[in-house]
Amino acid sequence: MNSGRGWLFLLPLLTFVAAAMLLSCGGDGSGGDSFATPAPPGPFIESISICPGPPAAPIPTPSPSSSASPSPLPTETPTPCPSFTAAAVPQGCFIQFHAVATLSDNTNIDITDANSTLWSSSDTAVLLPDSNTQGSYSATSSGSADVGAGTSGVSSPPVSVTVDPPGICP
């Protein structure tokens, strides 16, 4: 009879020891990983600036000739627009912006058309993002709205856009 009662004390003790061992081996009891995912290698976006106008046209890629060895073409490096803070457009017109990201290695890339870049308007009744062209907005009514762009958890400073009464579109 004494041997039957021993299990009443031994079973909870063994369960406690097993749980303590599981937790001490890095498990959290949920079956999932509790380790942080490391950042991907390479540079990351530190800041974004919004610039007036469309993005720079891509440099055409030449087709290689059979007799000459290909030489690298100069590439255009976009420049951030840190001092650009306001714009104006007449009602009924479109206004275009492009976004430049500064990376952790101090290089700049145009992210206007990147799939991960989200363009926003603080008042879509005044300035409506064009669903067909990234960074393009339709001035729908007089007033003002802020434009922004963001990706990878980084957002640009807002650019204030004033929509004036109808006039000649630029």
- Predicted confidence at residue 61, as pLDDT, reads 47
98, pLDDT greater than 50: yes
141 in a domain, yes or no?
A: yes
64 in a domain, yes or no?
A: no
Pick from 3-12, 19-28, 97-106: least confident: 19-28
Residue-wise pLDDT for 117-144, tens only, equals: 999 999 999 999 998 999 999 999 999 9
From the list 116, 58, 46, 56, the residue with the least C-alpha distance to 82 is 46
86 in a domain, yes or no?
A: yes
By residue range, what is the domain housing residue 108? 45-56+77-164
6 in a domain, yes or no?
A: no
CA pair distance 149, 80, nearest whole angstrom: 13
145, pLDDT greater than 50: yes
Strand boundaries in 104-158, DSSP class E: 108-110, 118-121, 127-129, 136-139, 143-151, 154-155
Indicate the SS3 state at residue 15. Answer: helix
- Predicted confidence at residue 158, as pLDDT, reads 94
116: domain CATH number?
2.60.40.1080
CA pair distance 80, 110, nearest whole angstrom: 9
- 136: tokens are 């393009």
Q: Are 74 and 117 in contact (CB under 8 A)?
A: no
40 in a domain, yes or no?
A: no
Percent of the chain with pLDDT strictly greater than 70: 65
Residue-wise pLDDT for 24-71, tens only, equals: 555 444 555 555 566 667 899 999 999 999 887 655 544 454 455 454
- Predicted confidence at residue 56, as pLDDT, reads 75
- Predicted confidence at residue 11, as pLDDT, reads 59
39 in a domain, yes or no?
A: no
117 in a domain, yes or no?
A: yes
- Predicted confidence at residue 105, as pLDDT, reads 94
Average pLDDT over residues 74-101: 86
Average pLDDT over residues 94-109: 94
How many domains, the chain? Answer: 1
Quote the pTM value.
0.66
Cα of first residue to Cα of last residue in the chain, in angstroms, is 97
31 in a domain, yes or no?
A: no
